[in-house]
Structure 1
């Protein structure tokens, strides 16, 4: 029997969705300072990188929840797409909680399912510290890939 995770799907999604919105706000402020007031580009440099990392963390979180909660393709894609417009993760998080998309318990215990995505997510839930480390590696790898591709041109 595995230990239950202290982090619920609702708590995890809420935390990452709010962080994504906060970093979007910082990036928007940085863009205002860079392009409108032409005073500094420091905000874009700092919040651009930070927002990129949190954006990838949001995507990883959304995929984990998509698998665990058995969301439809439409719900999963809507959740992913909410990270693109500024601050859209906030109303989506509110809507998801209101409609019961997230839940207060994880569905997938480790080793009880057959599909590879279910097994991977179940393992992460059963081993939260290792799952967090695995998620951090995924975020780091995807962020490194984005850096190799290069920043958006200004």
Structure 2
């Protein structure tokens, strides 16, 4: 299997980089809108792309954490790295150095021992179905969040 998803380290690295790049898009759009008093469409475009990639990064972080048996604190740091601009790639590099990103998916060959591992193992054994399901779930969550408007308006 030569796809991006063939190895946890590869998939996680691609998503970490994409999340970082989309932060740059969003922040650039905000710069144009608020500093240059320019078109606010850049924020909508950059924000939409970033939001979708952010949710995808969250899904992949949880999948890798379950498969590679991360401690809860490592999972929290991985998820938290997406909230602070440009931190996902440094976190991914640190996780790779510490051996947290496996060369193979553990749950493709090992028997799952918890309900969460069973779900992850099912996803890994049926990657196309899991990817389609993940994209649909991310799209639904993304649509709900879009309908709520910008986060700054959620509690107004």
Structure 2 length as normaliser, TM-score?
0.89
Matched with 1:86 is 85
Matched with 2:140 is 141
Structure 1 pair 132/151, CA: closer, same or farther in 2 (3 Å)?
same
Q: By percentage of residues, which structure has more helix? A: 2
State whether residues 111 and 123 of structure 1, in contact with CA within 8 Å, keep that contact through their aligned partners in structure 2.
no
- State the secondary structure of the residue aligned to 1:58: helix
- State the secondary structure of the residue aligned to 1:92: helix
Structure 1 length as normaliser, TM-score?
0.91
Distance in 2, matches of 1:138 and 1:104, equals 27
Give the drift of 1:75.
Answer: 0.3
Give the drift of 1:111.
Answer: 8.5
Distance in 2, matches of 1:111 and 1:79, equals 24
Matched with 1:130 is 129
- State the secondary structure of the residue aligned to 2:101: coil
Greater relative contact order structure (CA < 8 Å, 6+ sep)? 1
| Long gaps (5+) in structure 1 | none
| Long gaps (5+) in structure 2 | none
Matched with 2:75 is 76
How well do the aligned residues superpose, as a CA RMSD in angstroms? 2.0
Structure 1 pair 127/4, CA: closer, same or farther in 2 (3 Å)?
farther
- State the secondary structure of the residue aligned to 2:89: helix
